[in-house]
Structure 1
């Protein structure tokens, strides 16, 4: 059991947690309530520690869980959940909650040992944590293992009844690093203390639980999307695979149908059906280099003779087959233009692996559904139908009081869907597959007749569509910075002009965030997941800015000033007391030349204006040799520092070189991308 509510008493000496449990609810367990004390002077944690005499209570808080502890320059900080919202109830009264507010509390009593630079850095570290916690969806449950699917819970010896951190799936245990101190102390045989009741696994992603009625039968429809923390990141700073085979933006989505036998008088959701789908970045070594253009430079490693390249893909599929069984791969990328190299590489990898457990299908979503013909997604479902029937779904029956719950049916494989971002197109396809499977589940349970389809129930379908559209937004925000595109189709079943306008707005916001804000977002992810650990000894600040980079980043200001002066000279020369035509023309020419020069400089040195990650500098793919207008960044290069070193040499000749053609076919201009973000408007005559 994980303690649900904790009273936190803060003194100058310690943080003291006392579980709050209602006697009528828990009964005899009151005799075994444990308290947790964290001593501020030493950082030591202890169960059932004696009360500190004459301690003055500085503050008292009601907290709903301990997210964990993280070590920064001043020492450890504790993150607690101070607000939560009930999402809904799954089987047997197990609630799922969404964390809404957090508080970051310093264990150390002061920061006197820090220099002014360290204090400044410490504030930035804390701000990164706060921004990450405020901008993402975190979900947890005290009694239900939210990190595991129903089928995996059924495989466990305790059938999922004994829930604690030990049986959580580490891929989706988002605060696993933050809980390391509590976990290590529990595993320490010398102290013989078990802190498991205070360790609360939290997932990042999306959860929706919606009660409904279909054909006069009460059901609960739920959707749980679990984002993997193994290769977490933002859109342009996290693509493809790492060397261990972990994919960027990998998500496991479980669609749940919960109900009771037809003659049941109460709703305990004893009959449970689930269907798993996965999504993740194209499983290859590839990436993009942000450069302030709408679509960054694209990199793919097509050298499949390199064991590091093919080995990463092999490791990825080995992991996936072990977790889910055979893989049905659905690639939705474009078959021409900007996305073409990625799709071709994916197909080549599958061919090279030649694994009988892998089936590959390339469905060019934008081509098949062009001109707003979004109903043509059904063509993909028709193509997949034999595989969908063969893979089945999970059906779990706990309605019999005379025997243990029975796993009546198992899902034997999984559909892994991807587009470039694994967001918009992917969600449309996954919702369509989920609807197809849901009809089969309802028929088998007996809620629908053999000839009925769920699409005929308009009231439920409205719930279904909104849940999947909300899922799209919930997964898109932490990765791209905005809600998903194409959700008008998911919500209404058709593409609308209002939806396209909304997509245009989101695309513009994505552009700004992905180029000018995502470096800080990536830093927050790396910090809270332990990918970057603050050094114990004082080192040079990772947040430093060099004089040259400051001058470079002032260029947009120079552009704004020069353009403003140009307009003023053009339309209001009297403000400058210009009465001579020659002076007027000279002033116009000069301000125009400065404006164009600034604009060309920014275009040519776009990467200099990108907000790069500072804690773990962005690395080019280890295969890559980036040819950027005459400069070369070699294997594993630190992109921001390399560009900064080259910028002085570029400045003298950028006007001549900025129009040079790129000589690598693996790098395509964003204009060739086609229609990644917004479907083309239909022209009316």
Structure 2
């Protein structure tokens, strides 16, 4: 692989009033990338930048983003090495810096709010990259790609997380000038400045089983399509992208002396190249699983109730989108085993039935089989094609009544699902590749391909999904080690206590990372993942996490969703937005906004009245009357907020869901009829303003189907 196709490892940033200049610190002959200020025009020049005021070293260019008043270059200013895969170091983005194109930034409430949203998002988002390894692709896809292509061209578009903000650099590289459409030809010298970044989880460590050392890695890649928060991103969109879609790859690298942090700075390295075990070829064994929201049009609309209102649209409406989704999944992964873990009774039943009806419609002709036991009338429910006459017949639906089967802390019963999937896992195999001696940068020599995938989902694709995925990963890992000769038939990787501890904690950490980015808290049921047992302490922690999720999902996730939409380009700020009204302003009537503050004041007064010391000769009734009045005020405020809950949910303000717009207008109309504050709510102007603002957001941005 030519080093010219790889991103620069060290870039010097030169700043002047007229431009920013980026040039490789190690390659003096490489051209300099210049960004003109304040226009943002790009050019390459061989001469050194002139008039530079400041020189600093950066790890890479994350991208360029246009906000309301200015463009900003986002650079990676600090990284942390995570470990090596096949000798290639992987880094985590630790800190970023925003470089404004205007020399004197114009302050605007919306502009400042956008910047704060993006900065908080980047601080919280776990992002990873490598200068020489395409971590957006699984090892199987890497082995089938063209190594002569630049790294960004080999990246999987689903997991190329900064693809939108790299648009200016990619268009410039492709020869399209900004705004004119004039082509200047391909500029391959731009390739080293384009750095693809992955969002998700990465854990690499050196370990051993039965005295056999190897590198063990767990990689979860989150899709940039339909990304968002728990209740503001559900189901599928028209393009066939589903919410909370993640690909998780479990990797074993045998005969590798550079796993984990080994080899960083010297150990395990020779002349900058990885050393393997002499006489033994480096082997890569990987197993891929996916998760994603149920691919129908459904939503849970927040209204401050603990369980939001569930909406499920007809199957016919989502059929085209679901077909597109599964067509892509089959093209990438082969046969899909669709493991559905939602409840068969209660509020989740509608989602389960919609999923099953969708699969029946997609599969040409199917046979269904239901297994029951004393615990549940539908322990397992499978839908299988009778013959493979079309693409969709590669779907195999498996329903497992997870909650009923594991009720009473009987978590070992989850293995009933494993028994049902064993034949499919054996047929689907796993990826196994051999590295050519002395060629750590070349493609792997393929020995075995994984030809199917297990796609697991529950309602959130978090807690139940994590338990099942770790169970399937443990079974496959044992099989891989037996096939590689590390274990004997009948032995299990779980027999090694030290490795089992590592395995459990890596999968629990993975569960927490995926859950935090979607729901705002760590995953539930991780006590089982970490220890193999469901404990009372774990149940208490789950209760705490559930309460935190309720608070975050109702009162904090709106700005977080706005940050997703800004960073990923789901919401585009138009040039006309510069003189427009404040997009992020609260447009509710003042009296509606004041109710929570009145509630807070009443609680404060109640506390004061309760703990105030009364003089011995003073009458008791004034203090009691004072307390009763503020108690009545607090009760009324609570009742009002709960009755009109949709007005107090912190909705996204850029791409506001249609259900939220309609629900808020209905709640505002209901509040107008309130006998106490109804007369104080302006009738026409505020309601029209509320509606027009929300409709404006939906038209400017990419519509979310709820």
TM-score class, shorter-chain normalisation, is 0.7 to 0.9
Provide TM-score, normalisation by structure 1. Answer: 0.85
| Alignment partner of 1:156 is 2:145 | yes
Counterpart residue number, 1:551:
591
| Alignment partner of 1:47 is 2:39 | no
Whole-angstrom distance in 1 between the partners of 2:280 and 2:654:
48
Gaps of 5+ in 2: 1-5, 176-182, 258-274, 364-391, 679-706
Asked if structure 2 preserves the Cα contact closer than 8 Å seen for 1:259 and 1:267, the reply is: no
Whole-angstrom distance in 2 between the partners of 1:654 and 1:250:
44
| Alignment partner of 1:169 is 2:166 | no
Counterpart residue number, 2:180:
none
The 3 A distance-change label for structure 1 pair 277 and 269 is farther
Counterpart residue number, 1:127:
116
How much does 1:444 deviate?
Answer: 1.1
User: Residues 541-580 of structure 1: matches in 2 within 5 Å?
Assistant: 541-546=582-587, 548=589, 550-566=590-606, 574=614, 579=619
Whole-angstrom distance in 2 between the partners of 1:178 and 1:494:
44
User: Residues 45-444 of structure 1: matches in 2 within 5 Å?
Assistant: 45-53=42-50, 55-57=51-53, 59-91=54-86, 93-111=87-105, 119-158=108-147, 162-188=149-175, 189-190=183-184, 192-194=186-188, 195-260=190-255, 265-266=277-278, 270-301=282-313, 303-304=314-315, 306=316, 308-354=317-363, 355-399=392-436, 405-444=444-483
After superposition, what is the alpha-carbon deviation per residue over 1:557-591, rounded to whole angstroms, capped at 9, x for unaligned?
2223334445655675948997375x677655544
Gaps of 5+ in 1: 22-29, 621-636, 656-685
Whole-angstrom distance in 2 between the partners of 1:269 and 1:417:
34
Structure 1 stretch 9-18 or stretch 603-612: which is displaced more?
9-18
Report the secondary structure of 1:239's partner residue. coil
Report the secondary structure of 1:414's partner residue. strand
After superposition, what is the alpha-carbon deviation per residue over 1:43-100, rounded to whole angstroms, capped at 9, x for unaligned?
12122353454x141x332211100000112221000111111111001x11111101
After superposition, what is the alpha-carbon deviation per residue over 1:110-133, rounded to whole angstroms, capped at 9, x for unaligned?
235xxx6xx111111111110110
Whole-angstrom distance in 2 between the partners of 1:246 and 1:44:
33
Asked if structure 2 preserves the Cα contact closer than 8 Å seen for 1:608 and 1:643, the reply is: no
Counterpart residue number, 1:17:
22
Whole-angstrom distance in 1 between the partners of 2:344 and 2:616:
56
- Of 642, 645, 655, the residue aligned with 2:665 is 642
| Alignment partner of 1:3 is 2:8 | yes
Asked if structure 1 preserves the Cα contact closer than 8 Å seen for 2:209 and 2:499, the reply is: yes
Whole-angstrom distance in 2 between the partners of 1:575 and 1:411:
81
Whole-angstrom distance in 1 between the partners of 2:279 and 2:644:
62
| Alignment partner of 1:520 is 2:507 | no
The 3 A distance-change label for structure 1 pair 521 and 578 is farther
Whole-angstrom distance in 2 between the partners of 1:338 and 1:504:
20
| Alignment partner of 1:452 is 2:449 | no
The 3 A distance-change label for structure 1 pair 31 and 603 is closer
Asked if structure 1 preserves the Cα contact closer than 8 Å seen for 2:13 and 2:22, the reply is: yes
Report the secondary structure of 1:638's partner residue. helix
Report the secondary structure of 1:3's partner residue. coil
How much does 1:646 deviate?
Answer: 2.0
After superposition, what is the alpha-carbon deviation per residue over 1:453-501, rounded to whole angstroms, capped at 9, x for unaligned?
1111111111111111111111111111111111111111111222222
Asked if structure 2 preserves the Cα contact closer than 8 Å seen for 1:88 and 1:97, the reply is: yes
The number of residues matched between the two structures is 616
Whole-angstrom distance in 1 between the partners of 2:555 and 2:29:
52
The 3 A distance-change label for structure 1 pair 239 and 505 is same
Provide TM-score, normalisation by structure 2. Answer: 0.82
Whole-angstrom distance in 2 between the partners of 1:360 and 1:650:
49
After superposition, what is the alpha-carbon deviation per residue over 1:521-565, rounded to whole angstroms, capped at 9, x for unaligned?
0000000001111121232221122351x4223212222333444
How much does 1:8 deviate?
Answer: 0.9
Asked if structure 1 preserves the Cα contact closer than 8 Å seen for 2:207 and 2:216, the reply is: yes
Whole-angstrom distance in 1 between the partners of 2:464 and 2:399:
13
User: Residues 483-502 of structure 1: matches in 2 within 5 Å?
Assistant: 483-502=522-541
The 3 A distance-change label for structure 1 pair 81 and 356 is same
Whole-angstrom distance in 2 between the partners of 1:376 and 1:108:
61
Counterpart residue number, 1:504:
543
Report the secondary structure of 1:265's partner residue. coil
The 3 A distance-change label for structure 1 pair 199 and 641 is same
How much does 1:317 deviate?
Answer: 1.2
Whole-angstrom distance in 1 between the partners of 2:653 and 2:276:
58
